[in-house]
């Protein structure tokens, strides 16, 4: 019989239908293929685990898999003198591998440790998964007759700031989660029973896809397979429709999926109503007067700025916390006056070293003391500047001044001053650019989005690639980031061209 691993079980706990499809409809597998970014998350998880093992210098790793690993585990359990990494337990339906199992001589029992690459155990969805994860393992260890002591979660310490070297004892926090796991255990055991019944059930309809009642951001990639009658752009795409579940339920129960078919009696928010109106009329809503006021608040020179960053789980350089962003690149388009030619400046850090000071000195070179700094989604760029200032207080005034001068071009679209049917309810630059400047596109670029850019940079600096390949990656990164700021300039120019004098 096929065994249910922890990964499959956790998929089932999160969505039974999705887990069933992944197991039983392998022909859909291309839809489930991991992106480079997803793969990098797995790699980050493995890296965190290898660092956390350093907390147990005596630990012994079981490198084998399956039955072989199970029999080595049984042998080690008998010996009662080891700290085991990747101990493996198999029963008639389930297979679990444990991150760390440590024998407690004083209490003649085993302590279980689960290692996670997260920053904290907050009361959020993630933490629920960690408890479920540990409870699954405990259920199988109980079944194997292992006497368990305490159960711990080891996770990254978000307050840890790296010194010259990583201090592994400070990098991680160990939390005793025995009580939460024991409180969860009975419900986990009954969910495991359900999983073993339903995951191998031949009738796919035994499980329903519930996401038809949830907004688009909740859907997995199989949504259209389960609901082929729902159009690609549907009521699920209405802005914040997931927040007001009653309204979406009302529409779905009335079998209304097409935005244009939403009856007038259904009360939409102003933003949702705009989204519906432009979709029905296929005519944009443009508040020229307010756009004019916004753009007239800008002062020359105009600096269009964008950072690319990398957030390593284990800090790579002194002064960084876990997952703190390393700004490895920026692009800057500068327009000195309305009639001037736009100029381009850029910086890409290609060394295995902290980029912060180089980024700041390049910014100092290119950004003057006057003029608006235009970004897309200001929270991100402002936070990068604030973090640079924290690491380099001598530059805090300069970076603080840039933050004071930041103008978020996305707000024109967020404030509904320009709503276009082609935006499909979104305001990201990737949605706005093709509508306002169809000639410009990310589609032909080697690197097309931020997640791919960060992975490409990491591989370029730390990967074992020939120099020519690294140079090609550098070129691709520069091209991608350049388009981000050029796109902002072009969108700004399109807006300037439509406002009255
Ligand atoms: S769309 Fe939602 S309910 Fe349906 S399979 Fe995916 S995650 Fe599960």
Mean pLDDT of 74-79: 96
Mutate to test the pocket of ligand 1, among 20, 215, 217, 220 (most ligand atoms within 8 A of CB): 220
Strand 285-286 relative to strand 418-419, pairing? antiparallel
**Which domain, by its residues, includes 271?**
210-282
The CA distances from residue 96 to 13, 111, 189, 195, 380, in Å, are 15, 15, 14, 15, 39
Cα 21 to averaged position of ligand 1 atoms, centre (Å): 10
Concatenated DSSP letters of 353-372: S--HHHHHHHHHHH--SSS-
pLDDT in the model for residue 120: 62
Mean pLDDT of 174-189: 97
Cα 185 to averaged position of ligand 1 atoms, centre (Å): 25
Total number of domains constituting the chain: 3
State whether 446 and 415 are in the same domain: yes
pLDDT in the model for residue 471: 96
- Distance, in Å, from the CA atom of 303 to the CA atom of 375, rounded to the nearest integer, reads 9
Ligand 1, atom nearest to 21 Cα: 5
pLDDT tens sequence across 322-371: 999 999 999 999 999 999 999 999 999 999 999 999 999 999 999 999 99
State whether 222 and 302 are in the same domain: no
pLDDT in the model for residue 123: 47
Ligand 1, atom nearest to 210 Cα: 3
State whether 62 and 197 are in the same domain: yes
Ligand 1, atom nearest to 226 Cα: 4
Cα 301 to averaged position of ligand 1 atoms, centre (Å): 49
Q: Which of 157, 189, 204 is the last residue of a domain?
A: 204
pLDDT tens sequence across 264-276: 999 999 999 999 9
State whether 305 and 265 are in the same domain: no
Torsion of CA 466, 472, 475, 481, to 10 degrees: -90
Residue nearest to atom 4 of ligand 1 (CA): 209
Cα 267 to averaged position of ligand 1 atoms, centre (Å): 27
Mutate to test the pocket of ligand 1, among 204, 215, 219, 248 (most ligand atoms within 8 A of CB): 219
Predicted confidence (pLDDT) at residue 232 exceeds the cutoff of 70: yes
pLDDT in the model for residue 127: 44
pLDDT tens sequence across 143-178: 999 999 999 999 999 999 999 999 999 999 999 999
Residue nearest to atom 7 of ligand 1 (CA): 220
Report whether 319 contacts 54 (CB < 8 A). Answer: no
Dig out the tokens for 144 from the structure: 């194997």
Q: Which of 282, 311, 332 is the last residue of a domain?
A: 282
450 alpha carbon, distance to own chain's centre: 11
Ligand 1, atom nearest to 219 Cα: 1
Residue nearest to atom 6 of ligand 1 (CA): 220
Ligand 1, atom nearest to 18 Cα: 5
Ligand 1, atom nearest to 222 Cα: 6
Long-range CB contacts (within 8 A, 24+) of 291-297: 291/412, 291/417, 291/418, 291/495, 291/498, 291/499, 292/499, 292/500, 294/411, 294/412, 294/417, 295/492, 295/495, 295/496, 295/499, 297/407
pLDDT in the model for residue 125: 43
State whether 268 and 373 are in the same domain: no
State whether 374 and 490 are in the same domain: yes
Cα 262 to averaged position of ligand 1 atoms, centre (Å): 24
Cα 90 to averaged position of ligand 1 atoms, centre (Å): 29
pLDDT in the model for residue 204: 86
Cα 12 to averaged position of ligand 1 atoms, centre (Å): 11
Q: In the structure, how many helices (H) and strands (E) does the chain have? A: 19, 14
Dig out the tokens for 389 from the structure: 């200032």
Q: Which of 282, 303, 336 is the last residue of a domain?
A: 282
Cα 203 to averaged position of ligand 1 atoms, centre (Å): 17
State whether 195 and 220 are in the same domain: no
Ligand 1 lining (C-beta closer than 6 Å):
15, 17-18, 209-211, 219-220, 222-223, 226
State whether 421 and 278 are in the same domain: no
State whether 374 and 269 are in the same domain: no
State whether 179 and 219 are in the same domain: no
Concatenated DSSP letters of 232-250: SS-GGGSTTTTTSHHHHHH
């Amino acid at each position: 019989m096929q065994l249910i691993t922890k990964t499959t079980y956790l998929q089932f706990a999160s969505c039974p239908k999705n887990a069933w499809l992944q197991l039983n409809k392998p022909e859909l597998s291309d839809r489930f293929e991991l992106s480079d970014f997803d793969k990098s998350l797995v790699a980050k998880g493995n890296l965190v685990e290898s660092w956390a093992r350093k907390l147990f210098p005596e630990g012994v790793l079981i490198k084998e898999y399956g039955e072989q690993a199970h029999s080595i585990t049984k042998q080690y359990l008998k010996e009662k003198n080891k700290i085991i990494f990747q101990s493996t337990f198999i029963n008639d339906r389930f297979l679990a591998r444990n991150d760390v199992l440590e024998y407690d001589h004083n209490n003649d029992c085993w302590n279980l440790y689960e290692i996670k690459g997260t920053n904290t155990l907050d009361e959020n969805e993630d933490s629920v998964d960690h408890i479920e994860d540990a409870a699954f393992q405990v259920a199988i260890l109980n079944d194997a007759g292992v006497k368990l002591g305490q159960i711990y979660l080891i996770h990254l310490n978000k307050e840890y700031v790296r010194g010259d070297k990583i201090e592994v004892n400070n990098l991680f926090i160990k939390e005793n989660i025995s009580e939460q796991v024991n409180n969860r255990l009975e419900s986990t055991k009954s969910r495991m029973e359900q999983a073993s019944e339903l995951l191998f059930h031949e009738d796919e309809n035994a499980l329903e896809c519930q996401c038809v009642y949830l907004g688009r951001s909740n859907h997995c990639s199989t949504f259209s397979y389960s609901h082929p009658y729902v159009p690609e752009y549907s009521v699920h795409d209405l802005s914040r429709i997931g927040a007001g579940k009653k309204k979406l339920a009302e529409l779905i129960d009335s079998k209304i999926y097409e935005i244009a078919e939403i009856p007038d009696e259904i009360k939409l928010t102003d933003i949702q109503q705009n989204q519906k109106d432009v979709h029905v009329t296929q005519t944009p809503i443009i508040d020229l007067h307010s756009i004019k006021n916004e753009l007239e608040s800008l002062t020359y020179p105009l600096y269009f700025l964008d950072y690319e960053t990398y957030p390593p789980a284990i800090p790579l350089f002194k002064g960084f916390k876990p997952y703190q962003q390393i700004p490895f690149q920026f692009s800057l388009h500068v327009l000195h006056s309305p009639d001037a030619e736009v100029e381009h400046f850029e910086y890409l850090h290609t060394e295995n070293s902290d980029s912060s000071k180089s980024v700041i000195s390049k910014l100092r070179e290119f950004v003057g003391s006057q003029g608006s700094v235009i970004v897309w989604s200001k929270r991100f760029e402002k936070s990068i500047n604030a973090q640079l200032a924290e690491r380099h207080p001598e530059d805090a005034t300069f970076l603080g001044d840039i933050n004071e001068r930041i103008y978020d071009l996305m707000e024109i679209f967020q404030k509904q001053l320009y709503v276009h049917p082609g935006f499909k309810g979104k305001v990201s630059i990737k949605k706005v650019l093709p509508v306002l400047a169809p000639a410009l596109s990310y589609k032909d670029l080697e690197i097309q989005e931020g997640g791919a850019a960060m992975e490409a940079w990491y591989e370029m600096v730390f990967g074992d690639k020939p120099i020519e390949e690294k140079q090609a990656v550098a070129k691709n990164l520069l091209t991608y980031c350049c388009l981000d700021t050029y796109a902002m300039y072009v969108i700004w120019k399109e807006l300037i061209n439509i406002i009255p004098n």
